[in-house]
Amino acid sequence: MGNFFTHANPKLATQAAPFEFGYSGDEGPLNWFHMNKTANKACSNGKNQSPINLNSSKLDILPVSSAPYFNVRWSTELLLNGSIVMNGVEYELLELHFHTPSEHFILDAYYPLEARFVFLSKSGGLAHRNTSSASYPSQPLAAVMTFHFETTLSETEPVFHNIFHSISDIPSPGNLTNTGPLDFSDAIAFFLSHKIYKYMGSLMTPPCTEGIQFLISDRRLNISSDDLRTVRLVQGFDTRNVQGLLGQENLIVQAARALQDARDF
C-alpha cells in the first residue's frame, strides 16, 4: 500500500477536479460552479448533465493478474486496459470507478452501488476538450459502461468481490494497492445479453463536461451486504444529485430563479 496524490490516470490529469470538491455542504454539487466559475461553467449552465432518471458495440476488457487500485477521494479507481467500438469510433478503457449510492436513477429508483468503466476516444476527445465550454460535441468524447448493484442473498459477482476484497487496503485519499487477478468476461457477457439504456450526458464531477455517451445495463448485478458495507466504509457518500431532463434548463439556474422569486415575494 502506498500514497498517490494526483489523479490515478495521467491521461485524465487535465480533467481532474481539485480535491476540494465534495458531495455535501459548501463542497456539494450546488456549489461546484462557484468553486471555479471558469473551469466548472458546465456544472451550472450545461443542459445535458448527468446523472439522470432513466425511463451495438464491440467490447473488450483485458483480464489482468493484478490492477493498480487507488483512493482518489471522490471515489476508488482501478486502471484497466480494453476498448469499445461505437459507430466505427474506437474508445480506449482507462479506468473503473464506483459510486455509493448509485448516481443514475432507473424509473425513480436508485441502487446502493454503481460501477462505471470509462473509455476515452483514441483520437483525443476529452483529453483535448476545452472543459469550460458547455457546447455539445458532434460525437461522444467518452463512453461509459455502467452497472448497478443490488443487495441479495446471493454472493457478489466474483470479479467485483475480488476488487472489493482489496478496498480496505486504501482507506484514505492517496492510498494505493494492487488487486489480485481480475477477469471481466462474465460481466461483459452479462452486459451484452441484456437491454442497455443509452444517452448523451456529462462528467459527474467538475468541470461537468458534456458529450459523454452512457451505456447502462438495465439488469442489476449482485453484491453481498458484507461487501457493500466494506465499500461504504471507505467511499462514504459520493453521489451527485439527479439532474433535469436532457436539454432542459440547468437545475442550478432554476433554483437560483426560484430563490430570487422567493426573495422578491
Q: What is the mean pLDDT of each run of 10 residues along the chain (265 residues)?
A: 44 50 85 87 87 70 96 94 89 96 92 97 60 59 96 93 97 96 95 91 91 94 96 95 84 80 73
Alpha carbon distance 246, 244 (integer Å): 6
Judged by DSSP in three states, 234 sits in: helix
DSSP 3-state assignment of 111?
coil
Say whether 221 sits in a helix, a strand or coil: strand
Outline where the chain has alpha helix (H). Answer: 32-35, 42-45, 158-164, 185-192, 225-235, 251-264
Residue-range domain boundaries for the chain: 2-264
Q: What is the pLDDT of residue 246?
A: 80
The pLDDT value given to residue 7: 47
- What is this structure's pTM? 0.79
Superfamily of domain 2-264: Alpha carbonic anhydrase (3.10.200.10)
Q: How far is CA 200 from CA 12, 17, 72, 146, in A?
A: 20, 21, 25, 13
**8 Å CB contact between 37 and 132:** no
Please give the Cα distance from 165 to 142 (Å, whole number): 29
